[in-house]
Chain A
């Protein structure tokens, strides 16, 4: 092995430059079988028409399909409300939990528990009961003198049941913020306070700029998971009223397993993947300048 190669593959002595490749083989095989293949076959399956012929018909049809449009609108509205709210709530609570006061560990655990249970069906069922006409939420509203709300009856309130569920589970996002906050050296804040910088100002001048990348990571992760929401509307609202909580995730599932429109379901899911990828790229491009400033 010549010197140049040796520097390029800086492995322990006597180890082949293919050892690493061998070790990651499970990932490569898994990627091909469980990500690449589904991605390609999803597109091809999407070409299959109901009569067995192949054409782009499914792909052109879905853009005119009013139920796809409506579901896409619901999904985007849901994500657009949930994601910013969830990021703000998790960042604020992470700031609170980063304070070093007695018993803070107990609160950390308490805030984290709902997200641990996450999509557990028990929690989803519980949530469904909380918002019924005489459920806990309405009983509480009456207790403090407000009038009860018909949560399942209207578009906005039905969607907000699901938004509130996912917002309640802000713990996983919060933990990522908390880890990042702990990495910020205390000296920064000490120096700032000596210079007469108040708490709010040091938040905007020190904390926020240093958290830019973490905020971005959370933004992407939460957007992707919000756009594929399925469990909660499927179990809680069933997509009702008038399909106002019927997400794209539900539409794909029903096209496939209720109506057995195999080709169409694949076409919708493939277009959805492309849309999500474009949204992520768009977010990456838009925030790029913002993230690179003051680094």
Chain B
């Protein structure tokens, strides 16, 4: 019983952390007047009206369309991010080369570059890239991931590579594996938790990203989920049809929560073991 006060504190903090989300889910089943009349999250009666309306959105497209758009950005981005960060991290972790320290410092330094500074020139760059206008396409959102643009990912992977004994590489060498084969068949399986973490991070961050699509995507047809949500808020206003907006928000959270729930164990291990403690 000595631990009782401790549990009370933990439960109180959990309530602060989770109750707003629980309230959001409950509110999506409530009528508009009920949302702002009770602190209790449970609705008096469940109505799916808000979901039916919300799914239709205020645009000619349903939320399904915006989900599809979001995944058209997320899937290539995840593949690109994993391929490029693993390759670059392999180079840093396993090989010596001229100016290695300098490049690693650049990598860490680029993590500190605020997005708001690079995004304006990036806008003009994509507007006229070798004579082509890439604005309003998914290219500016996905292609940078091909170039290991998240320094954090490379950093986590380097820590993981260092945890794999060099004897593995040597054994692979004796068995006739070259540099690339060693990476694919020997080392990559060893660092799977880190690769999963990177994929999950890319998924969640892209789901959350608002500024980048806001700047690069103009036509409603190509909007990802976050922009479609904002459009609904803007066009319905604050004092009107709140439960519809709330239902849309709940739908918007489902992918992130599902992915987190599925990957939770491996994901959290990936970050904690990744030596972020450095």
Contacts and interface: CB of A to CB of B under 8 A. Distances in A.
B85 to A, nearest CB: 9
A204 interface: no
Contact of B113 (A9, A23, A35, A134): A35
Nearest to B205: A118
A94 B210 CA distance: 29
Nearest to B232: A125
Contacts of B97: 9, 17-21, 24
Contact of A117 (B119, B173, B256): B256
B172 to A, nearest CB: 9
B116 A230 contact: yes
A12 interface: yes
A252 B116 contact: yes
A146 interface: no
Given A35-B110, A108-B268, A117-B256, A26 B117 contact: no
B114 A273 contact: yes
B147 A110 contact: no
B17 interface: yes
B6 A230 contact: no
Contacts of A38: 117-122, 125
Contacts of A228: 114-116
Contact of A41 (B124, B209, B250): B124
B253 A123 contact: yes
Given A26-B88, A120-B208, A125-B229, A220 B112 contact: yes
A62 interface: no
A29 interface: yes
Interface residues of B, number: 95
A224 B248 CA distance: 31
B105 to A, nearest CB: 11
Nearest to B144: A34
A69 B121 CA distance: 23
A9 B96 contact: yes
Nearest to B83: A26
A242 interface: no
A123 B170 CA distance: 49
Interface centre among A27, A45, A117 (most CB of B within 10 A): A27
A39 B249 contact: no
A116 B87 CA distance: 26
Given A15-B179, A122-B252, A126-B20, A235 B230 contact: yes
Contacts of A183: 277
B253 A117 contact: yes
Max chain A Cβ within 10 angstroms of own Cβ: one of B17, B18, B169, B256: B17
A31 B106 contact: yes
Contacts of A134: 36-37
A87 to B, nearest CB: 15
B125 A41 contact: yes
B147 A29 contact: yes
B198 to A, nearest CB: 15
Interface string A93-119: 100100101000001111111101111
Contacts of B207: 120
Contact of A179 (B117, B208, B256, B271): B271
B277 A180 contact: yes
Interface string A230-268: 110001000000000000110011001100001001100
Q: List the 7 shortest-distance A-B pairs measured between CB atoms, nearest first.
A: A30-B147, A20-B95, A23-B91, A122-B249, A20-B97, A38-B121, A180-B277
9 contacts: A8-B96, A20-B94, A20-B100, A107-B14, A125-B233, A129-B246, A179-B272, A224-B114, A230-B211
